Each structure stands twice: as C-alpha cells, then as structure tokens.
Structure 1
Amino acid sequence: MKIAIFGYVKHPEMMTSLTSVLGSIYARQLKPILEKELYAEALSSGLDVANLQTFSSAEDLDDSFDLFLSIGGDGTFLRSVNFVRDSGIPVLGLNIGRLGFLANVQKENFGQALECLLNSRYAISKRSLILLESDLPCEEAPRQQIALNEIALSRRKTTSMITVETWLNDEYLNAYWADGLIISTPTGSTGYSLSCGGPVISPETRALVLTPIAPHNLNARPLIIPDNMTVKLKVSGREPSYLVSLDAKMITFANETSLTIKKAPFYINMIELQGESFYKTLRKKLLWGEDKRNLKQ
C-alpha cells in the first residue's frame, strides 16, 4: 500500500504524531510518501525520513497511490482536497486538532484504522465539491477554485452590509442585504452554514444550501437547492472589494465581479471505517439529540 501523507506542520504535536504514524506504517511494510513541507520539517526535527520520497502538488499524485492521509484537524483535511482533487485517491483524516468532524480518526487509533483498511473493513463516502469561476482574472487565484465545505462571500474592511444579487440557472432569485452569503455542500452543512442557522444535510443528498450571514431582512432564510443548479452572484457595497473564502483559503474580488458556483464534476472519496458513520459523528461530535431522557437507566 502506497500512502501519501500531508500534515499541519505548525501543530505542536505534529512530529510526535508523525513518528507514531510512520512506526505503524513501517510495521506493516507499507510505503509512505511525505508532502514536501512536512518532509522538510520532519528532517529538521531529526526524524529518520531522509530516504523517503516526497510530493508537492496534485500533479505528483497518480493512481499508484492507495491512500491520502491527512494529519491535523478539519482544516488540514480541507486543504488536502487541493492535493487529491479528481484523482479518486481515498482520504483518511487523523485528528490531532479540536473537533475532528472530518478528521474523525483519533491518533491513538491509527493502528486499528490501518488494519481496517488492509482488511477492507471500511466504506467510501463520496463527498461532492463546488467549483468557483469568475469573469475577471484575480491575482490571488486562477479562474477556477474548488471547495469541499463551502464558498462564503463576506464584507471587507467595513461594518456596512454588502448586497449579493443571486441568480439560479439564470433566473433571478434575490438580492441579499447582509454581512455575506454562504453556498454550502452537504459536507459543509455542519460547519459555517450551521453556525448561521443553516440546516444539517446528509452527505448523500444531492443538494446545496444558500445561507445568508446576518441578513437585514426577516424573510431571508436558508434555501436548499438541487446541486445541478448553477448559482451566479454579483456583489456591491460601500467598499470597492469583498472577500470570498473557499474552505480555508481567502480571495479578494473587486465589486461587480460576476461569480459562478456549480457542483464540481468529481467527488472526494472519504473513508468511513467500519462502525463509523455520519450520523454517529453527529451524535458524538455535535451532541445531536443530546437529552438526559435518552440516557440509559
């Protein structure tokens, strides 16, 4: 088994966790390949990795890889998407962060997780992504960007609202007067969108949700749409520009830039180990249905 490993190098437990991970991999005679920045940090920290191969971009990952391992938290998992992209390589998140909703394997259980993988005791959860396109070039990003959780538009350098004009399949929907607007996938429905009053959507649901951020209108509520719809947006406001976040990445766009958001033509293959599921994670991590009446006597 060939395993690509990516991690959040600034985490204080990163090198300790990587040492443990590599030990489990070597014990099973598997082949680790480290992301270039992680490799450099491991080498400078005195880890015995000098003979390991590295990768630095999505172009370095081909179909010879069996697994992409993300070590960190949910933010690290989201950054992994830009390496995996449309390769189809299954992704497993090892949590050394806080919540660990996407990165839901605890570091002390990594050995067990490997055994599950080697013995095919897992399922693949196909997670949809969304694609952002703009009609004007941007110095900070190419014309196309992807996100697994959400794309969020928000005000920049001002306390004033922005206006987000919205079209669905070229039909005018609304102008949101708000601090911003979130376009979320089912995977992202438990993140920023949820914090702004959006619904939780099961990952297999073929839908997107539009969730306004602090709208100045009692009638502006989250809207669920089919994921085959194309969303077009245009922002205006008192400042000449606004922010767009794609998961963990921030981009600045000039007002009146036309943005198009649609479902990406590929999925991320997220590994669910035997005994784990989206609904179990809801109960365990977000305390879904927590009620003292549900406790067993």
Structure 2
Amino acid sequence: MEEKSIAIASRMDSEKAIALAKDIFGFLIEKKYPVTLETRLAPKIMSHSAMDLSLMTAENTRFVISVGGDGSLLRVVNRLSQKNPPPLFGVNIGSVGFMDESNSRTIFKDLEKVLNNEYVIEECSKITPFILKKDAERIKLDNALNEILIISSKNSKVLQISVKINGVFINRNYLDGVIVSTSIGST
C-alpha cells in the first residue's frame, strides 16, 4: 500500500509563512516523507505534487500542516473534504494562534514528535449555521470550527433568535446578538 502523503497549506499573503512552508517541505523531503502541497502553494515552492484541499481525505493524506495562524487554520478546515478529513496540524507564525499546536520557533521539534507518533488527535465539532428568512428560505453558511457571531446588520436593532441543537428547540428570545461556541472556544 502506498504511504499517505503529508500535506502543506499556507497563508499566501505572508512571505514569512511561505518561507516557513518551504522549510517544512525541505525538512520532510530530506526525511523521505511523501509530501503534497496545496494547489495554490505549489508554484511558490517548486513544481511538485499538488492537490486541492477539497480532495484531501484521511484515506490519502496522513495530516495537513497549516502555516499561518488561526485564520489560515480556519480557511483550511472549511476547504478540506467534509467527509473524513485528515488531521490538521497548525503552525502559528505571528503572535496570536490560539488554535495552533506549534509555532515558527518549535515547528521542527514538534513535527519530529508527530512523525514519531507522539501525539494525541483532538476530535473537534463544527457548527453549521443557517439563516432562516421570513419566506422560510434556508441559507446554509460555512461551517465554523470555533464560533459564530450573530448580530443585526442595523445599529441598535435587536434580533429574535431561536436556538435549536440537532433539531431540538432550546430557546427563543430577543437579543442584541449571540456568540455560539464549540468546545474549541471563542477566539
């Protein structure tokens, strides 16, 4: 059986993130691991095996390394296959990275641990928000890994909000807004 590849995705508007992604790529290639680059990252590093995030699953990808920060991690989560996605390993390059496991100073030491199977996978739930319009039209929004914020688009306007969990009615009230958070927590 062919060994699953390790995928690398990166924040694309940061030279620091792209440079670190390139260093991670070199580190993995030197250790003879199969590596796949996110399609939009591949031209920045080198002509190499590339794949769209939506095609990456646990069957073909050992894990995905997301280089950037929380925003990059959330982008990757929303673009990965929703059916059996691979595990995700976040690398923060800035000062805020609540959801990332590593940073630019410790990445290679942390990556060695993962490659040596010294890790625990944390299963995370996502929230699937919908907007129910007055005409009963239901609009699905992007899944959220950590939180959703619901507020009025008009100043000083309250909303009538109904909360259901798995279809079970919890509460209905008039509110200025509400934050709904998963176990990951609100950033």
Shorter-chain TM-score category? 0.7 to 0.9
Q: Say whether 1:34 aligns with 2:32.
A: no
The CA distance in 1 between the partners of 2:111 and 2:169, in whole Å, is: 49
Shift of 1:123: 0.8
Worse-matched range after superposition: 82-91 or 6-15:
82-91
- For residue 237 of structure 1, what is the aligned residue in structure 2? none
CA shift for structure 1 position 66? 0.4
Q: Which runs of 5+ in 1 are unaligned?
A: 192-297
Q: Mark the runs of 5 or more structure 2 residues left unpaired by the alignment.
A: none
Aligned position for 1:95: 92
Residue 162 of structure 1: which of 149, 158, 164 is its match? Answer: 158
Q: What letter matches 1:150 in structure 2?
A: E
Judging by fraction of residues, say which structure has more strand. 1
What pairs with 1:16-95 in structure 2 (closer than 5 Å)? 16-40=19-43, 42=44, 47=45, 49-50=46-47, 52-61=48-57, 63-82=59-78, 83-95=80-92
Comparing 80-89 with 64-73, greater Cα deviation is found at 80-89
TM-score by length of 2: 0.83
Q: Which has the higher contact order (CA 8 A, sep 6+)?
A: 1
TM-score in terms of structure 1 length = 0.54
Q: For residues 61 and 160 of structure 1, do their structure 2 counterparts lie closer, same or farther at Cα, with a shift above 3 Å needed?
A: same
What do you get for the CA RMSD once the two structures are aligned?
A: 2.2
| Deviation (angstroms), 1:79 | 1.3
Aligned equivalent of 1:183:
180
Q: Percent identity?
A: 24
Q: 1:9, 1:58 → 2: CA distance?
A: 17
1:146 to 143, 148, 151: 143
CA displacement, residues 129-173 of structure 1 (integer Å, 9 cap, x when unaligned): 1122445265xxxx36311111221222x3222213324455462
Distance 1:94 1:115, change over 3 A: same
Question: Which residue is equivalent to 1:282?
Answer: none
Give 1:108 deviation, angstroms.
2.8
Distance in 1 (alpha carbons) for counterparts of 2:124 and 2:34: 26
- Counterpart position of 1:116: 113
Which residue in 2 is equivalent to 1:207? Answer: none
Aligned residues: 177
Aligned to 1:145, what secondary structure does the other structure show?
A: coil
Alpha-carbon shift at residue 8 of structure 1 (Å)? 0.7
**What CA distance in whole angstroms lies between the structure 2 residues aligned with 1:98 and 1:8?**
15
Match of 1:173 in 2: 171
Q: Deviations over 1:184-237 (max 9, x none)?
A: 1010x242xxxxxxxxxxxxxxxxxxxxxxxxxxxxxxxxxxxxxxxxxxxxxx
